[in-house]
A and B are shown apart, each in its own frame.
Chain A
Amino acid sequence: MPPIEFTKPHDVLVLGAGNAAMSAALTARARGASVLMIESANKDLRGGNSRHVRNIRYSHNAATDYVTGRYDADEYFKDLMRVTDGNTNEELMRFMIDASEDCADWMLAQGIKFQPPLSGTLGLARTNAFFLGGGKAMMNSYFKAAEKAGIDIVYEAEVEDMELDGGKFTAAMVRHGGELHRVEARTVVLASGGFEANIEWLKEGWGEIAENFLVRGSPMNTGKVLRAMLNAGAKPIGAPDQCHAVAIDGRAPKFDGGISTRIDCVIFSAVVNKNGERFYDEGEDIWPKRYAIWGRLVAKQPDQVAYAIIDSKSMGLFMPTVYAPFQADTLSDLAEQLGVDAPTMEKTIAEFNAAVQPGNFNATEPDGCHTEGLEPKKSNWARKIDTPPYYGYPVKMGITFTYLGLEVNKQAQVMMNDGKFAENIWAAGEIMAGNILGQGYAGGTGMAIGNVFGRIAGEEAARHARN
Chain B
Amino acid sequence: MPATETLNEAKRVMQICNACRYCEGYCAVFPAMNKRLTFSDGDVTYLANLCHGCQGCYYACQYAPPHEFAVNVPKTFAELRGETYRDYAWPGIFKGLFEGNAKWIALITLLLAVAVTAGVFMVQGADVLGGVHTGPGAFYKVIPHNVIVYLAIVPFAFAGLAFLVGLLKFWRDIDGKASGLVHPGALIQALRDAGQMKYMAGGGHGCNYPNDNFSMGRRHAHQMTMWGFMLCFAATSVATVYHYVFGWEAPYDYLSLPVILGTLGGIGIVIGPIGLLMIKKKADPAPQDTKRTGMDIAFLWLLIATGATGLALLAFRETAAMGTLLAVHLGIVLAMFATFPYGKMVHAVYRLGALIKFAHERRE
Residues of chain A having any CB pair with chain B under 8 Å: 44-45, 51-52, 54, 113, 115-116, 118-120, 130, 132-137, 140, 144, 253, 256, 258-262, 315-316, 319-322, 324
Contact = CB atoms under 8 A, between A and B. Distances in A.
B26 A132 contact: yes
A134 B23 contact: yes
Interface stretch (B61-69, B110-118, B145-153): B61-69
Binding site secondary structure of chain A: loop
Given A136-B62, A140-B212, A321 B25 contact: no
Interface string B41-65: 0000000000000001101111111
A120 B34 contact: yes
17 contacts: A44-B64, A115-B24, A116-B25, A118-B31, A132-B203, A134-B22, A134-B60, A140-B59, A140-B60, A144-B213, A256-B67, A258-B62, A259-B19, A259-B22, A260-B20, A260-B69, A320-B15
Given A133-B60, A136-B59, A322-B15, A316 B37 contact: yes
Interface of B: 15-16, 18-26, 31, 34, 37-38, 56-57, 59-69, 203, 205, 212-214
Nearest to B56: A133
Contacts of A116: 25
B63 A137 contact: no
Contact of B25 (A51, A132, A260, A322): A132
B62 A134 contact: yes
A119 B34 contact: yes
A116 B204 CA distance: 10
Q: Which of the listed residues A130, A133, A144 has the most CB atoms from chain B within 10 Å of its own CB?
A: A133
Contacts of B214: 113
Contacts of A322: 15-16, 19-20, 69
Given A118-B24, A120-B34, A133-B56, A319 B19 contact: yes
A115 B25 contact: yes
Nearest to A135: B62
Which 3 A/B pairs are nearest by Cβ-Cβ distance?
A115-B25, A133-B60, A134-B22
Contacts of B38: 320
A195 B298 CA distance: 53
Contacts of A315: 37
A137 B34 contact: no
Contact of B203 (A133, A319, A320): A133
Contacts of A256: 62, 67
Given A115-B203, A256-B67, A320 B19 contact: yes
A120 B68 CA distance: 25
Contact of A321 (B19, B57, B63): B19
A52 B62 contact: yes
Given A116-B25, A132-B203, A260 B16 contact: yes
Given A51-B62, A316-B37, 8 more contacts: A52-B62, A119-B31, A119-B34, A120-B24, A132-B205, A140-B59, A315-B37, A322-B19
A352 B62 CA distance: 40
A261 B31 CA distance: 20
Nearest to A249: B19
